[in-house]
Amino acid sequence: MRLPRDLSGDALAARLDRLGYHVSRQSGGHLRLTTGLNGEHHITIPRHAALRVGTLAAILAELERHHHLERQQLLALLLP
């Protein structure tokens, strides 16, 4: 599955709610999200209108490592 080219930072943050993430703070154009699922984890997401593919790939790679998921499993959870 290809990564979406039009996913905004706010839309990704809303979808990360499915993995237990919530906004813990906002600083300028970035959101800091935190989850307690599988141990405490923090991730920062830019609030851009459309995330760059490399930025989205890096965020997904971090989520994969923390939640012990494969890319396809993670995309199925976040992008149905």
pLDDT single digits (tens) 8-55: 999 999 999 999 999 999 999 999 999 999 999 999 999 999 999 999
Is residue 62 scored above 80 in pLDDT? yes
- Rounded CA separation 69/9 (Å): 21
Look at the domain 9-78 and name its fold.
Metal Transport, Frataxin; Chain A (3.30.920)
Please tell me the pTM assigned to this model. Answer: 0.92
Read off the pLDDT band of 64 (50, 70, 90): very high
- Backbone angle region of 76, left / alpha / beta, with phi > 0 → left and psi within -120 to 50 → alpha: alpha
Band of pLDDT at residue 79, cut at 50, 70 and 90: confident
